[in-house]
């Protein structure tokens, strides 16, 4: 395992351990602003309702669409591919339902192209996800866009596989 991957894994575990927890309402018959437990909410479509009753948020549920936090792109493109639209929609719905949540959209590129071009491409990719989430109901104040270009590869290498894994936007919850 590369040192970079190990470093980011340890860093993310550190942040996870330092995160605050939400207070749970004691009245078990009341869920989400006066709705009774039998009523379905929009957040349940993304696993929030059941997971919250079990003491786990939808963000922590590995079966939730929110568990997917990487959007991959084609070469030299910032268009969201059809297979990642559901992921973007799930995160946008979660943000719309949780106005206090803030995310960072990190844009990345593979090593091909100049440093400046790849920084701009990473930014276009992150902005593309940002625009789509805004159209789906998330507030623009809920996300920060940053581009790392080719500077933080997910996979080291100089082949098609490595390049495909490095053309991405990562959704980071803070």
Sign of CA dihedral 127, 133, 136, 140: negative
Q: At 59, is the pLDDT very low, low, confident or very high (cuts 50, 70, 90)? A: confident
Q: Distance (Å, rounded) from C-alpha 47 to C-alpha 58?
A: 6
What pLDDT is stored for residue 104 in this prediction?
98
Residues 170/111, Cβ–Cβ less than 8 Å: no
**pLDDT digits 0-9 by tens, 85-116:** 999 999 999 999 999 999 999 999 999 999 99
* Residue 148 DSSP one-character state: E
Give me the domains of the chain, ranges plus CATH numbers: 65-174 (3.30.1330.60)
Q: At 28, is the pLDDT very low, low, confident or very high (cuts 50, 70, 90)? A: very low
């Amino acid at each position: 395992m590369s040192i970079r991957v190990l470093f980011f894994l340890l860093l993310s575990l550190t942040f996870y351990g330092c995160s605050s927890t939400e207070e749970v309402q004691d009245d078990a018959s009341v869920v989400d602003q006066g709705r009774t437990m039998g009523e379905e909410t929009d957040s349940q479509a993304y696993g929030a309702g059941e997971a919250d009753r079990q003491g786990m948020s939808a963000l922590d549920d590995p079966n939730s669409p929110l568990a997917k936090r990487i959007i991959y792109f084609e070469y030299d493109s910032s268009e969201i591919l059809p297979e990642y639209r559901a992921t973007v929609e799930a995160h946008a719905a979660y943000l719309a339902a949780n106005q206090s949540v803030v995310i960072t959209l990190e844009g990345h590129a593979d090593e091909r192209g100049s440093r400046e071009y790849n920084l701009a491409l990473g930014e276009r990719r992150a902005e593309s996800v940002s625009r789509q989430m805004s159209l789906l109901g998330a507030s623009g104040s809920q996300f920060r866009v940053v581009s790392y270009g080719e500077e933080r590869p997910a996979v080291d290498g100089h082949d098609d596989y490595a390049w495909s894994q490095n053309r991405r936007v990562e959704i980071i919850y803070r």
